[in-house]
Amino acid sequence: MGEGCLSRVPAVFAALFPGRMAMVVADVNTWRVAGAEVYRHLLDAGIETGVFLIPDREFHAEWKYVEMVEAAVKGAGAVAVAVGSGVINDLCKLSSAHLGQSYICVPTAASVDGYSSFGASISYEGVKQTFDCPAPVAIVADIRVIAQAPKEMTAAGYADLAAKIPAGAEWMIADLFGTEPLIPDAWHVLQDVLDEMLSDPEGVAAGEPSAIAALFEGLTLSGFAMQAARSSRPASCTDHLFSHYLDMTHHRFRGKLQSHGFQVAVGTLTMCAFFDAFCEMDLGGIDVEALVAAWPTLEQEHERALKLFDGFVDPKLGYNVITQKYQGPDDVRRELSSVKAHWPELRDRLRAQVYPFRKMKHLFETVGAPSDPSQIGVTRAQLKDMVPKTQLMRWRINLLDLSLRAGIYDALVAAVFGPGGAWDLTDEKSF
């Protein structure tokens, strides 16, 4: 990482892939901002180099592009040099894994945390999924290039990093439940420095190299955390599911697909609002046996899931997820007893982890990320409608699962979307 380090790409490539041909993979924009320069440096260094440009101007991380990149790289017998932002990197990551080899990443924006992560987030048959595949063997990050990325891309990266705040809190809940224990290496590498990495939204908005470098480093550490955990748990939870829902429904605003980070910004704010309301509740006084007696059967949950996802692009998504994550009365009793016994400590730990909604909103306003769903063309009513679906979009335990078990789900939704709430439906912003 450094200013003006694109010239180092050939040396890195030659050291890691001696004698191999390079294939610069870019799109029309990233070719202009860095791809052409990387290509020239590689040729100047005497490395045989090809180019594959994504043929479409607007594209998402979809399976057909993985196949295109794979065919191009395989056909040439080359190694990919991904020059671009999150999507280009994910396409190269998965296609390289299919070819049984690694690749080099040259990021052009501090827009996502996927550069250094294990796994690629790709839409396959209409459903956004994370495919297992290793991180690149090297990242050459030229801060000069990254700082010149469109402001909204950098703001999106900031929001993607900020999502680790509520995501961390949801991991604490899964840890308490025992479904996904905290992994110390994965936790500390990111969470210990996260506050600091998020502390300069003004500098990030102004494109100051030092602030951009700190943001990029934070995003990279998030990727390392995912590598350590071999899952996306350290970096995302319900905050990201709002984005996945919008991707799956091909949501557009003013004709344009909305960036991962901007969608995640809305999910992150929503989760901060949920945690604000959650920490106001008293779970130290719950009647565990009454809640266990009211706990639905798997058959009832199947019915609810099918109804909820009726007409959705993947109508069985919720059904499949609940099949995976359903827990019977004994588990629920154990979990609720644990929450009840540890309530004040749990609440204090969650409060120490999650930023209040107001604080997060202010950070996003400062950095230029969405601070209201209307800014990505989503109404508060639509957002409210997404909430029960996000509970059933991933097998991992989240805050909504705990709320359902504790019988406070409806109260939480009312606190966030009701009068005076963060997303008060009567205060709908027009767009």
Q: Sign of torsion, CA 153 155 161 166?
A: negative
Distance in Å, CB of 172 to Zn ion, minimum: 19
Alpha helices (runs of H) in 198-316, residue ranges in sequence order: 201-205, 209-229, 238-248, 260-280, 288-293, 298-308
Q: Report the residue number, 27 or 160, with the smaller CB distance to Zn ion.
A: 160
> Are the C-beta atoms of residues 266 and 174 closer than 8 Å to each other?
no
Q: Report the residue number, 90 or 401, with the smaller CB distance to Zn ion.
A: 90
Distance in Å, CB of 410 to Zn ion, minimum: 29
Verify binding: residue 247, Zn ion, rule CB under 5 A.
Answer: no
Q: Report the residue number, 167 or 292, with the smaller CB distance to Zn ion.
A: 167
Alpha helices (runs of H) in 141-200, residue ranges in sequence order: 143-147, 151-162, 164-177, 184-197
Measured from each CB, the residue nearest to Zn ion is 160
The residue among 66, 233, 251 whose CA lies nearest residue 163 is: 233
Binding residues for Zn ion, total number by CB under 5 A:
1
Q: How far is residue 353's CA from residue 172's CA, in Å, rounded to a whole number?
A: 9
Give the containing element (helix H, strand E) for 61. none
Residues 204-233 that bind Zn ion (CB under 5 A): none
Residues 404-423 that bind Zn ion (CB under 5 A): none
Alpha helices (runs of H) in 49-136, residue ranges in sequence order: 63-76, 86-98
Residues 387-406 that bind Zn ion (CB under 5 A): none
| Rounded to 5°, angle at Cα 303 from 297 and 309 | 135
Distance in Å, CB of 159 to Zn ion, minimum: 9
Q: Report the residue number, 38 or 360, with the smaller CB distance to Zn ion.
A: 360
Q: Report the residue number, 160 or 276, with the smaller CB distance to Zn ion.
A: 160
Map residues 274-313 to x or -, x wherever contact with Zn ion holds by CB under 5 A. Answer: ----------------------------------------
3-state secondary structure of 211: helix
Q: Report the residue number, 22 or 269, with the smaller CB distance to Zn ion.
A: 269
Distance in Å, CB of 364 to Zn ion, minimum: 15
Residues 136-175 that bind Zn ion (CB under 5 A): 160
Q: Sign of torsion, CA 350 355 358 364?
A: negative
Distance in Å, CB of 308 to Zn ion, minimum: 24
Q: Sign of torsion, CA 311 313 316 321?
A: negative
Q: Report the residue number, 167 or 408, with the smaller CB distance to Zn ion.
A: 167
Distance in Å, CB of 154 to Zn ion, minimum: 14
Give contact residues for Zn ion (rule: CB under 5 A): 160
